[in-house]
Structure 1
Amino acid sequence: MFHRLRVVASATGEIVREADFTQQGKRGALEIRCVRRDLLLQALEGELPKGTIRYSSKIVSIEEDGNIKILQLADGSVLRAKVLIGCDGINSVVAKWLGLAKPSYSGRSAARGLAHYPDGHGFEPKFLMFIGNGFRSGMLPCNRTEIYWFFTWTPSEHDKGADESAAKMKQFVLDKLRGSKVPQEALAVIDKSEMSDVLAAPLRFRPPLSLVTGSISKGNVCVAGDALHPMTPDLGQGGCSALEDGVVLARCLGEALAVKDAKGGSAEKERIEAGLRQYARIRRWRSVELIATAYTIGFIQQSDNAIVSFLRDKFLSGVLAGRLLKMADYDCGAL
């Protein structure tokens, strides 16, 4: 669990903001943690009956047979679903079927990696962030032996070829940081990363206004996770918000399926659709706020514009840090 956030201006090396992560939130003490995605997925999978998850099952098309949705998969198999929940990522086929707007390119890209220290890294439980000068970078310990780091920037013609391999991307990031006032300890973390742990990708997001009027659910179909609210990673809330979706969806759908009555299928169908509509109402504005806030924070923190940099470093750094904590201080309710 992290105790503090330290924000450093990349152009000057000055600390522009320190924030205490141990303060009290609306519902008790705040907890800010860095969790490896693969370990989280393994933990979630371990709670399910064996064989529940089918891998490499990309949806090709969705057809309807009364109340049943028929899914054609890329491997040729067919699934029939009483309820279809699209958690199929940023390129979601289910979101497209619902008519949601296609995710847009933010104009930025991101690289990230993991540095391994078998004997312990010795870093404090602190989130260290570097902003401005055309990039946004940071590092935070996952545990006593691993440190996660990230780097976002706006690609230009001069960057061509940087994404051809992990080695070139790693060197590109190091060169960018060495041209700024970034401490040697931060460079050493990136330099220690294995090539297999360095990844890069363009950053995309769903325009938040499109979610205001878009269909998050339709009949017995809905979306969750990146299929619903793909966002830039500037809040660190992508995985958290997907878990929120899961809790709210399980509650709404569970209440619909728990009822037993004599009316049979038609009554259950109506309850399922009502449950999914309730889920959509609860998650719509949270999704809009997450996407818009992440985009805005990333734009301001990364900017090398002189006016934006001055306002950010002198006045806005506290506001941005506060928003980071506020967006994490959210209660999606109990199952």
Structure 2
Amino acid sequence: MFTSPAMEIVKDIVIVGAGISGLTTSLGLHRLGIRSLVLESSDKLRITGFAFTTWNNAWKALDVLCIGESLRRQHHLTPSMLVASTFSVQPASEISFKGHEVRCLQRRSLLEALANELPIGTIRFSSKVVSIEESGFFKLVHLADGSVLKAKVLIGCDGVNSVVAKWLGLEKPVFTGRSTVRGYTKFKGGHGFGPEFRQFVGKGVRSGLLPCNDENVYWFLTWTPSTKEEELEDDPAKLKQFVLNKLQDTPDDMKSVVEKTWLDSIASSQLRYRRPWHLLWGNISKGNVCVAGDALHPMTPDLGQGGCLALEDGVILARCLAGVISKPDMEGTDDEEEEYKRIEMGLKIFSQKRRWRSIDLITTSYMVGFIQQRSGMIINLLRERFFSRFLPGRLLRKADFDCGNLQY
């Protein structure tokens, strides 16, 4: 029986993944008058992770996209971080964020703010990419429903398990040996906590809580699991009890936040990262294809820069593409080979700009997590006497990056 091939739908720019980097790139292009199509494998926006810390660099990107002010009104400014040891009687040390903009941003609020600014039809849900192939100066993107998209530009913002990164030949992210549990608690009528970010370190465990606003609190715990503990990851009830057991040496406030968390607001995952040297010789871009966000630089959460870096990526990538891609009213005026070469150059510029920034933050974040969660007399002493003074300045310097405006 003869089966006709799937019809190819031609699209200038196809972005795989409606996460932070994918929606940021699409909105940046939209602000510049360039259309794109965003493919999302799930049937709605993904809010896994619940919330994340946003620093100066993230707010600069959000302001460039013209959504910063609306998000500020929903999220309190975080003035400082209190770091306490759970293995010694040392008083908590306070790290001031004076002169810096730090907020705990709800992931749902961010994704909805980005998506709401895009034209209707920009995001195509339930669109899982299964394979990619060459077709002259285009890429054919095959979806699970049998449809095929023919793209001038293909951007992979499809996370840690990126299909696009695999096509580029980038090595898979590796397990760090650590896992995390994240939760999100809503206190109707107000939680009563101060706005500070509170973090507790010791005995191989790091935990913390951070208010987003008057009612919502984000919390996390990271640890090095045994094989038996890894089996807990798909059972929220067991995860919740496990976290409470790990928090025995933390203040009652921390435990009460976890106790009040609904089971559907608890999630666990292994912490993975891309080995920095893979980005030294790996392909961030090739021809008219590139990756951004977690597809480019998966990292541990120890600097709180993963989401911030994804916002930077989106603004810079939109700017690099705007300088080389034809506007809608210019379609058909360019030679295909010439336009392909210009797109290739634009994506190479993006990869050059993001390679060392990604390597720097992946490496620093990994080392911060390694030192904070190691146990032993010497490492505990170094952490209390040296690292606690070194980390704040290092962290704030990493957050001072300016992604620039959208105009090339």
In the aligned structure 2, how far is the partner of 1:252 from the partner of 1:275? 5
SS in 1 for 2:124: coil
List runs of 5+ in structure 1 lacking aligned partners. 24-29
The reply to whether residue 268 of structure 1 matches residue 339 of structure 2 is: yes
The reply to whether residue 199 of structure 1 matches residue 270 of structure 2 is: no
Match of 1:328 in 2: 399
In the aligned structure 2, how far is the partner of 1:101 from the partner of 1:225? 15
Q: CA deviation at 1:161?
A: 4.5
Equivalent position to 1:34, from 88, 104, 124: 104
Question: Is the 1:68–1:82 contact (alpha carbons within 8 Å) kept by the matching residues of 2?
Answer: yes
Q: CA deviation at 1:266?
A: 2.5
In the aligned structure 1, how far is the partner of 2:217 from the partner of 2:134? 47
Question: Is the 1:16–1:313 contact (alpha carbons within 8 Å) kept by the matching residues of 2?
Answer: no
Q: CA deviation at 1:149?
A: 0.3
Match of 2:205 in 1: 135
In the aligned structure 2, how far is the partner of 1:275 from the partner of 1:161? 44
Question: Is the 1:125–1:140 contact (alpha carbons within 8 Å) kept by the matching residues of 2?
Answer: yes
Q: CA deviation at 1:306?
A: 2.1
Match of 1:26 in 2: none
List runs of 5+ in structure 2 lacking aligned partners. 1-76
Counterparts of 1:207-226 in structure 2, within 5 Å, are 207-226=275-294
Equivalent position to 2:322, from 237, 247, 254: 254
Identity %: 54
Q: CA deviation at 1:14?
A: 2.8
Per-residue deviation, residues 282-320 of structure 1 (Å, max 9, x unmatched): 000111111111111111111112211110011111212
Q: CA deviation at 1:220?
A: 0.3
Per-residue deviation, residues 167-221 of structure 1 (Å, max 9, x unmatched): 110111111111x2x1111111111111110100111000011101111000000
Residue type of the alignment partner of 2:381: F
In the aligned structure 1, how far is the partner of 2:367 from the partner of 2:397? 15
The reply to whether residue 315 of structure 1 matches residue 315 of structure 2 is: no
SS in 2 for 1:201: strand
Q: CA deviation at 1:58?
A: 1.8
> Alpha carbon RMSD of aligned pairs, Å?
1.6
How many pairs align?
Answer: 327
In the aligned structure 2, how far is the partner of 1:262 from the partner of 1:80? 19
Counterparts of 1:108-257 in structure 2, within 5 Å, are 108-157=178-227, 159=229, 161-178=231-248, 180=249, 182-257=250-325
In the aligned structure 1, how far is the partner of 2:203 from the partner of 2:372? 9
SS in 1 for 2:207: strand
SS in 2 for 1:298: helix
Q: Judging changes above 3 Å, is the alpha-carbon distance between structure 1 residues 81 and 113 closer, same or farther for their aligned structure 2 residues?
A: same
Match of 1:81 in 2: 151
The reply to whether residue 22 of structure 1 matches residue 93 of structure 2 is: no
SS in 1 for 2:98: coil
SS in 2 for 1:212: helix
Q: CA deviation at 1:243?
A: 0.8
Q: CA deviation at 1:160?
A: 5.7
Question: Is the 2:166–2:172 contact (alpha carbons within 8 Å) kept by the matching residues of 1?
Answer: yes
In the aligned structure 2, how far is the partner of 1:35 from the partner of 1:148? 9
Match of 1:27 in 2: none
TM value normalised by structure 2: 0.77
Counterparts of 1:273-292 in structure 2, within 5 Å, are 273-292=344-363
Equivalent position to 2:123, from 35, 53, 58: 53
Flag as ranges the 4+ runs of structure 1 deviating above 6 A: 259-262
Question: Is the 1:16–1:314 contact (alpha carbons within 8 Å) kept by the matching residues of 2?
Answer: no
